[in-house]
Structure 1
Amino acid sequence: MITFIDAAADLLLGSTCAGCRSPGWGVCRGCLDLLRTPPHAFGGPDGLPVVAAGPYRPVLEHLIPRYKDDGALHLERLLAELLAGALAVARPAPDTLLVPVPSLPRNVRARGFDHARRLARRLASDSGLKSAALISRDRRGHDQAGLGRSDRSTNLECTMKARPPRYPVLVIDDVITTGATIREACRSLERVGADVLGAVVIAQVDDYPPGRTKA
């Protein structure tokens, strides 16, 4: 329901919900209700345990790009809270390191920040764990948007390098589609001897993976 204040905000300031574009401040109640789905745990790439806070559509497909591409940093708290819900399902040990999947260097320059790194830091602060940006990404590879499953895997092959951690790690990312990005991130960590426990993401694209099970 649109209130008088919401309508006034839209008229005077152009304020709209980042999820559905209806007039209002922040994210509207309807979109927040849609985000109140329980996290899902499933077997991701190479059988890796993955927990997703919720489905990509219909709300997160708008919130996540608004945050990372449009600089809507006021959404960070909400996205971190969703990640925290997925983290609670993963139940990491107290010594677990949260390791963000890095964006392409050119995307970081264009955006002015690395969104996964920011979210991992906030998640670590809120959970009492530690985060560490152990993975670096070279300039090879292209943005994954629009690529098919096999092309995504080939596009990212051997494009990430990692520093060896002292503790078990949990990989943090925003979206899982085919799993190619998380697969490469985990392989880069495993190549240096890391104990990779799994991954936690904000959203999973609707058609991946088939046969998921609720946590």
Structure 2
Amino acid sequence: MDSASRHAAPPTGAARLLAAVASAAAALLSLVVPVECAACLTPDTPLCAACARSLRRSTAAPRRVEAHAPSLVTHDGEPLVRAVAAGAYRGELAHALLAFKRHGTPSIAAELASALARSINAAVGVEDPAGVGDPAGVGGRVCPVGVGGPAGVGGLDKVWLVPVPTSTAAFVRRGFDPLGLLLARVSRQGRLPPGTVRAPILRRRSHGVLGLVRAGGQKGLRRGQRRGRVAGSLEVRGAARHGRGAWPAKGTPLTRGARRGTLLTRRAPPAKGTPLTKEAGPPRGNLFRNSRNPGLAGRRVVVVDDVLTTGATVREATRALEDAGAVVLGAAVIAFVPLPEPGHAETSQSADTE
């Protein structure tokens, strides 16, 4: 039986029963907690079919967008960090992102994960491998724009996809990491570019109690305020600085003794009696925090974020990774906030990036 026949096979009795139970539970829940479309407010659905189709159309053709992020270009308009977005932060896409960040609705997550997959695959210059099973219904084909140049980055097995971590205050407020969930979903669906791995190796610098009370993210901040707020806020995790931290893509074989979340190129421990020097073994604590570590030296990475506004957060992530020795090829995001039309005064940004 071929793949198409398998996908077309009717559901089993157990599957029909589960679907009926889920539908009944959703109907009962809607009586207690009313649900409405995040974009058009149609009742009894978190994202109606019409708005879902519109969202797919708006994210079907990822494009280069660093020109819309002042922090990612020079005064002459030359790119400092290349960026690719699936669509503009407006309409159904904006409403879906806000609703998912607030509630983590699975049906909205499926649509946003598809948009993120298209952006990532376009960023590295390959087609989305989802094929006919693409839940976004756009055929799984995108126009390769490539943050690494017209021919893409090449050597995909050496590219790490590094998500921007959520802040402690945002995590405490929501109880989950929206971008982390979406990127993990893309990985589970096998839609990452061949050979790439997601590598959550960035973390927020600790600010103690102040880090918990500084709620509100960057929503409503102007360009200069955003740059000042995120400057020096990110750093590479200690394990990643020693060559560990990437998660193998789905289907990647693990050698004997390898563990999930650990690269297979860990250095062997020094022989018994060998003094622990900078060259002999991995640094302890923060001894060599500011030195370039062989674990990330020359490692090619793509920064992943949800919304690109001024580009301050992506620029800060790039700084942290490059300080650790990585080579940042660019960034892939779900949505970007377009610059105001010429002649309009700069206004506070409305995108909730936290």
Q: Normalising TM by the smaller chain, what interval?
A: 0.7 to 0.9
How far 1:24 sits from its partner (Å)? 4.5
- CA distance in structure 2 between the partners assigned to 1:80 and 1:138 by the alignment: 27
The TM-score with structure 1 as length reference comes to: 0.83
The answer for the alignment partner of 1:42 in structure 2 is 65
How far 1:77 sits from its partner (Å)? 1.6
1:12-42 Cα deviation digits (max 9, x unpaired): 5733212222224342233223221321113
Counterpart of 2:104, as a letter, is G
Residues 98 and 124, structure 1, Cα contact 8 Å, conserved in 2: no
* Alignment CA distance shift 1:69-1:138 (3 Å): farther
Residues 30 and 44, structure 2, Cα contact 8 Å, conserved in 1: no
- Does residue 25 of the first structure (1) align with residue 45 of the second (2)? yes
* Alignment CA distance shift 1:68-1:12 (3 Å): same
- Does residue 52 of the first structure (1) align with residue 115 of the second (2)? no
How far 1:112 sits from its partner (Å)? 1.5
- Does residue 199 of the first structure (1) align with residue 331 of the second (2)? yes
The structure in which a higher percent of residues are helix is 1
Mark the structure with the bigger radius of gyration: 2
- CA distance in structure 2 between the partners assigned to 1:100 and 1:209 by the alignment: 30
Question: Of 92, 107, 114, which residue of structure 2 is paired with 1:81?
Answer: 114
- CA distance in structure 2 between the partners assigned to 1:208 and 1:124 by the alignment: 35
The answer for the alignment partner of 2:170 in structure 1 is 107
- CA distance in structure 2 between the partners assigned to 1:31 and 1:208 by the alignment: 25
How far 1:146 sits from its partner (Å)? 0.7
- Identity of counterpart residues, as a percentage? 36
Residues 162 and 198, structure 2, Cα contact 8 Å, conserved in 1: yes
Question: Of 183, 203, 206, which residue of structure 2 is paired with 1:136?
Answer: 203
The answer for the alignment partner of 1:95 in structure 2 is 158
Counterpart of 1:133, as a letter, is P
Counterpart of 1:28, as a letter, is C
Counterpart of 2:43, as a letter, is P
* Alignment CA distance shift 1:88-1:181 (3 Å): same
**What stretches of structure 2 of length at least 5 have no aligned partner?**
1-26, 74-78, 126-152, 242-295, 343-354
Counterpart of 2:91, as a letter, is P
RMSD: 2.7
The TM-score with structure 2 as length reference comes to: 0.52
How far 1:64 sits from its partner (Å)? 1.1
How far 1:113 sits from its partner (Å)? 1.6
Residues 170 and 198, structure 1, Cα contact 8 Å, conserved in 2: yes
Range moving further from structure 2, 12-21 or 181-190: 12-21
Partner of 1:51: helix, strand, or coil? strand
Counterpart of 2:326, as a letter, is A
Question: Of 160, 175, 190, which residue of structure 1 is paired with 2:234?
Answer: 160
* Alignment CA distance shift 1:207-1:70 (3 Å): same
Residues 104 and 178, structure 2, Cα contact 8 Å, conserved in 1: no
Question: Of 125, 150, 159, which residue of structure 1 is paired with 2:224?
Answer: 150
1:118-129 matches, within 5 Å, as 118-125=181-188, 126=190, 127=192, 128=194, 129=196
1:134-187 Cα deviation digits (max 9, x unpaired): 111025575111100011001110011014437311111110011111110111
Partner of 2:229: helix, strand, or coil? helix
1:36-70 Cα deviation digits (max 9, x unpaired): 13211133514211111111101122111211222
- CA distance in structure 2 between the partners assigned to 1:150 and 1:188 by the alignment: 19
- CA distance in structure 1 between the partners assigned to 2:341 and 2:303 by the alignment: 18
How far 1:86 sits from its partner (Å)? 1.2
Equivalent pairs counted in the alignment come to 204
Following TM superposition, the consecutive aligned residue runs of length 4 or more in structure 1 with deviations greater than 6 angstroms are none
1:57-97 Cα deviation digits (max 9, x unpaired): 01122111211222323322211100111122112523311
The structure in which a higher percent of residues are strand is 1
- CA distance in structure 1 between the partners assigned to 2:110 and 2:86 by the alignment: 14
